[in-house]
Amino acid sequence: MYQFSRGMFRELTPMVERRNGGRHYMEDQLYVLHACEGAVRRLATDRHYFARPARTLFADVRCYFPVARQQQVYSIIERYIAFADEFLASLPPAGCDAEGNPLQCRALTRKGTACQRTPLAHNGYCPSHQHLAETEHAAPAALAA
């Protein structure tokens, strides 16, 4: 995942505005780097709860770029996030995420702790919590109506 965040950062760095609220240029670049790495890391570890990663990352870093360059910045972010998402989708589900952490069911137990069972590959829930996956897709349709 490192290659996606660093590639995005290398393309964004020349466009960082030199004067931004009195901060130093290097601090602004460092913030953009940390934001890129954080967004790609979250995409790799928490894909189901990160609905719009490109828009979230752009909202975090847009203040470091001039207004004339923001469309270009958004298109770079969107392209690299799409590459990372495509790469993650191509990984075989082997019980671990892209960073090697064991997968866990997305559901919570009655006590409020995370379910410790291994989830199924197609929806992220263990066999005991499959009913939650069915209601997850029905809820947005009910809200739209």
Q: What is the pLDDT of residues 45-98, one digit of tens each?
A: 887 778 899 999 999 999 889 999 999 999 999 999 999 999 888 875 556 666
How far is 107 from 126, CA to CA, in rounded Å?
8
Q: DSSP 3-state assignment of 99?
A: coil
Average pLDDT score, the chain: 81
pLDDT bin (cut points 50, 70, 90) of residue 118 is: confident
Q: What is the pLDDT of residue 25?
A: 78
What is the mean predicted confidence (pLDDT) over 8-33? Answer: 82
Query: Quick check: 142 pLDDT over 60?
Result: no
For residues 80 and 1, the answer to whether their CB atoms sit within 8 Å is no
Q: What is the pLDDT of residue 138?
A: 56
Query: Quick check: 22 pLDDT over 60?
Result: no
Q: DSSP 3-state assignment of 20?
A: strand
How far is 65 from 92, CA to CA, in rounded Å?
37
36 by Cβ neighbours in 10 Å (0-12 / 13-18 / 19+) ranks as buried
Of 120 and 69, the one with more pLDDT: 69
pLDDT bin (cut points 50, 70, 90) of residue 136 is: low
Q: What is the pLDDT of residue 54?
A: 93
Of 133 and 20, the one with more pLDDT: 133
pLDDT bin (cut points 50, 70, 90) of residue 140 is: low
Contacts 24+ apart (CB under 8 A), 90-96: 93/121
Query: Quick check: 141 pLDDT over 60?
Result: no
Q: Which has the closest alpha carbon to 77: 29, 40, 49, 27?
A: 40
